[in-house]
């Protein structure tokens, strides 16, 4: 996929009620030699996106992983950065995340100001994304690293108002996340309420471990399902989840 049309593909899919599946790769956890197998399976299963990012990213494999993916497949690579240092010109797009569920000014706008000049001259498609952290039953790295509280799991109205505000501020996507490795994925009722309240595409991730859960959240209104941990542990899940999402 050419750069600059990834957001259009999100919008078109939403309009056509086609659901998308993204695999999250944490460059700290995946070693380069595992990439080939993952990409092969993802291509066969017609996965829609690779999201790349993690809370820390302590190694410098980001560019190498992207190059390796791109050598083998045309599945777009979208950066999902845990910090402003996790940027690479080699990806297709960047989710320009503003942590709108939190009240940490740096993650609402500060880091964005710092990275703006770099992004302005980059070839990346920049997609403004309202990032909403929801309590997934365990403290997550993103909550700790961002020094923010997630929205309580049963406070649907807070999530709805947060997502609506993000849309009204001009954000192009909403990403609801229970955090990587969450014990509980986001409630289907919360996803349903948020999906009903906004018109922009809705990404949902965090703690999804089964095709059934992926389908349930898809039916509730998620436009894109993101899975990281569970696929890292069991690659066979990849094709089952892809089939479940596409069966919608
Ligand atoms: C985390 O939404 C992603 O930001 C994916 O979470 O690793 O728990 O699938 P998991």
Question: So where are the chain's domains?
Answer: 6-247
Query: The pTM is what?
Result: 0.96
φ, ψ of residue 203 to 5 degrees: the values are -100, 135
Q: Which residue has its alpha carbon closest to ligand 1 atom 5?
A: 206
What is the position in ligand 1's atom list of the atom closest to the CA of 185? Answer: 8
Task: Please tell me the distance from the alpha carbon of residue 23 to that of residue 4, in angstroms, as a whole number.
Answer: 20
Average pLDDT across the chain, whole number: 94
pLDDT at 1: 47
Ligand 1 mean position, distance from CA 66 (Å): 19
Q: Does ligand 1 have an atom closer than 6 angstroms to the CB of 195?
A: no
Residue among 133, 175, 206 to mutate when testing ligand 1 (max atoms within 8 A of CB):
206
pLDDT digits (tens, 9 = 90+) for 98-152: 999 999 999 999 999 999 999 999 999 999 999 999 999 999 988 999 999 999 9
Please answer whether residues 222 and 203 qualify as being in contact, where contact means their C-beta atoms are separated by less than 8 angstroms. yes
Q: Are 152 and 158 in contact (CB under 8 A)?
A: yes
pLDDT in tens, 67-76: 999 999 999 9
| CATH architecture, domain 6-247 | Alpha-Beta Barrel (3.20)
pLDDT above 90 coverage of the chain, percent: 86
**Cβ of 182 below 6 Å from ligand 1:** yes
Pocket test for ligand 1, best of 129, 205, 217, 237 (most atoms within 8 A of CB): 205
pLDDT in tens, 158-216: 999 999 999 999 999 999 999 999 999 999 999 999 999 999 999 999 999 999 999 99
Residue 82 beta carbon below 6 angstroms from any ligand 1 atom: no
Residue 211 near ligand 1, beta carbon < 6 Å: no
88 lines ligand 1 (CB under 6 A): no
CA 220 vs CA 153, 159, 177, 178, 246: distances in Å: 16, 15, 15, 16, 14
CB 105 within 8 A of CB 150: no
| 180 Cβ closer than 6 Å to some ligand 1 atom | yes
pLDDT score at 58: 65
Span from the CA of 175 to the centroid of ligand 1 (angstroms) = 11
């Amino acid at each position: 996929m050419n750069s600059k049309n990834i957001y259009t593909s999100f919008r078109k899919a939403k309009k056509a009620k086609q659901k998308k599946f993204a695999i999250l790769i944490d460059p700290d956890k995946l070693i380069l030699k595992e990439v080939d197998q993952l990409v092969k399976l993802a291509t066969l299963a017609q996965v829609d996106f690779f999201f790349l990012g993690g809370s820390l990213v302590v190694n410098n494999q980001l560019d190498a992983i992207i190059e390796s993916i791109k050598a083998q497949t045309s599945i777009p690579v979208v950066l999902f950065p845990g910090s402003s240092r996790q940027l690479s010109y080699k990806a297709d797009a960047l989710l320009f995340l503003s942590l709108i569920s939190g009240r940490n000014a740096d993650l609402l706008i500060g880091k964005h100001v710092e990275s703006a000049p770099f992004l302005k001259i980059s070839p990346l498609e920049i997609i403004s994304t309202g990032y909403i952290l929801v309590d997934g039953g365990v403290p997550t790295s993103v909550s700790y690293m961002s020094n923010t509280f997630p929205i309580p799991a049963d406070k649907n109205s807070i999530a709805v108002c947060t997502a609506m505000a993000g849309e009204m501020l001009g954000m192009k996507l909403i990403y609801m996340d229970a955090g990587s490795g969450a014990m509980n994925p986001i409630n289907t009722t919360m996803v349903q309420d948020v999906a009903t309240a906004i018109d922009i595409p809705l990404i949902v991730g965090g703690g999804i471990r089964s095709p059934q859960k992926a389908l349930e959240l898809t039916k509730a209104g998620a436009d894109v399902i993101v899975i990281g941990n569970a696929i890292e542990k069991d690659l066979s899940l990849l094709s089952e989840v892809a089939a479940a999402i596409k069966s919608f």
